[in-house]
Amino acid sequence: MSATVKPRASAPLQAPLPSRWRSLLFWAKTRALQLRRALDDLRDGPRRHRRDGGLAIADAACAESVTALWPDSDETAPQLVAGKIHNLRLAARALHGVEVPAGATFSFWRQLGRATRRRGFVAGRELREGCLVPSIGGGLCQLSNAIYDAALRQGLEIVERHRHTQVIAGSLAERDRDAVVFWNYVDLRLRAAAPWRLEVWLDGEALHVRIRGGAAAPAALPLPPLQRRTAPAGVDAANDCTRCGRSACHRHVAAVPDGLHRTWLVDEDWPEFAEDRRRRRQPGDRVLALPRTSVAAVHAALLRRWWLWRGMPLPQARQRAQRIRLQTLRRRLGARDVDLVVPQSLLPEL
């Protein structure tokens, strides 16, 4: 007589919690490596390159990489994705139009500088020891991935590049087109035999990176087949620290509401715009207006009168004053202002 023994189902294995000692050791190692890279760069490091420097760029030769801003999956909390997009927008302003001479080295960190809160960077997602943790400047790897991808397509020389240790779904790392960056010793560095120009911009859906000039590749290099790399069987994949539920971890961040909202940008509150706002405004919407008694509004009004007194045409004086007020409002926009409603009069300035 025989009996069939059914194996007992085992609970999925979880990676051990990161200890405070390991985090302290990681901090010490990174500071030592950052210091060493800084000293090396002082001796013989790449320099920063000018934007729109007037170099003779071969416009006919260009390669472009386009990646989605919002992931298809809900692997990351929306507020961290919004923070990533905000950080990408700041980095795009700093890198768009950079022109690199022939034979010179482009360094991602040397060109961008450190991503700090003082410079306007916010918390985005950073992959660390298998976890997606909130980090100031997080999400910039999407930009370095795209620059690396465009550089390969254009035939640039890769001086320095590092792979991610774990792959986030939907990223270029799934096609081995990733280039992880971590201030300042984990860098992406490129070089070409001819001058080249970097162009970076965002639209509502995607990050665009274009490289013009350099060494024109005979044809765009095809992407290798998609190969999703997942965690071993029974082991959790990368977790978002705001959602993993492992509250015993010292890096755990309590889940917070998404906090993403529509923002109404109000300058001159025309009756039509006010009526539209009254009809369409939803709970949680944010109205961003500049009081007439504010310093910026008073400053703009005084300058407008001065310009009119000096003989400037009224439309030009109004536009200049509006630009001053709008700059103040733009500084108050944050990463969670993901949907912006503006009057038509502000579109030229935006």
| Structure tokens that stand for 201 in this block | 């911009």
* Residue range 241-290, pLDDT digits in tens: 666 666 667 566 665 555 676 787 787 777 787 788 888 888 878 888 87
Tell me which of 199 and 81 has the higher pLDDT: 199
Q: Does 200 lie in the same domain as 298?
A: no
Of residues 196 and 132, the one with the higher pLDDT is 196
CA–CA separation, 133 and 130 (whole Å): 9
303 & 225 share domain = no
Phi-psi region at 134: left, alpha or beta (left = phi > 0; alpha = psi -120 to 50): beta
Identify which of 23, 341, 343, 37 has the alpha carbon closest to the alpha carbon of residue 187.
37
Residue 15 burial (CB count, 10 A): 15
Residue 190: per-residue pLDDT: 94
pLDDT of 226 > 50? The answer is: no
Residue given tokens 């990174």 in the structure block: 30
Residues 164 and 214 in one domain: yes
Residues 229 and 309 both lie in one domain? no
pLDDT given at position 32: 93
Helix locations, 217-270, DSSP H: none
* Statement to judge: residues 195 and 300 lie in one domain: no
* CA distances (Å), origin 158, targets 147, 162, 213, 306: 11, 11, 15, 54
In-domain check, residue 250? no
Total domains in the chain come to 2
In a domain? residue 5: no
Q: What percent of the chain has pLDDT over 90?
A: 27
- Tokens encoding 16: 């051990």
Question: 217 and 100 in one domain?
Answer: yes
- Alpha carbon distance 161, 152 (integer Å): 12
Quick one: which of 282, 338, 324 has its CA closest to 122?
Answer: 338
Say whether both 197 and 283 belong to one domain.
no
For range 73-84, the mean pLDDT:
76
What's residue 241's pLDDT?
64
pTM of the model: 0.75
In a domain, 246, yes or no: no
- For residue 8, the model assigns a pLDDT of 47
| Sequence-separated (6 or more) residues with CB below 8 Å from residue 229 | 166, 167, 173, 174
Higher local confidence (pLDDT), 230 or 81: 81
- The model's confidence at residue 323, banded by pLDDT at 50, 70 and 90, is confident
Do residue 266 and residue 233 come from a single domain? no
Q: Binning pLDDT at 50, 70 and 90, where does residue 65 land?
A: very high
Query: Which tens digits make up the pLDDT trace of 111-140?
Result: 999 999 999 898 887 777 667 777 888 889
User: Do 65 and 26 have their domain in common?
Assistant: yes
Provide the residue range defining the domain that includes 211. 20-240
Output 14 or 305, whichever has higher pLDDT: 305
Residue in 203, 87, 201 with CA at minimum distance from that of residue 150: 201
Say yes or no: 67 and 121 in one domain.
Answer: yes
